[in-house]
Structure 1
Amino acid sequence: MTNEGKEDNKNEKSPSVRPGVLKIMQSIIAGAFGVQSDKRRQEDFSSHSPLPYIIAGLLFTVGFVVTLILVVKLVLSGQ
Structure 2
Amino acid sequence: MRYLKAVLAALIGIQSEKNRRDDFSQPSPFGYIVVGIVTVICFLILLMLIVRWVVS
Q: Which has the higher contact order (CA 8 A, sep 6+)?
A: 2
Return the letter of the residue paired with 2:37: L
Among the aligned pairs, what percent are the same residue?
A: 36
CA RMSD of aligned residues (A): 0.6
**TM alignment of 1:1-79, pairs within 5 A:** 22-77=1-56
TM-score by length of 2: 0.94
TM-score by length of 1: 0.68
Q: Which segments of 5 or more consecutive residues in structure 1 lack a partner in the other structure?
A: 1-21
Instruction: Number of aligned residue pairs: give it.
Output: 56
| Bigger helix fraction | 2
Larger Rg: 1
After superposing on structure 2, the runs of 4+ consecutive aligned residues of structure 1 that deviate more than 6 Å are none
Q: Which segments of 5 or more consecutive residues in structure 2 lack a partner in the other structure?
A: none
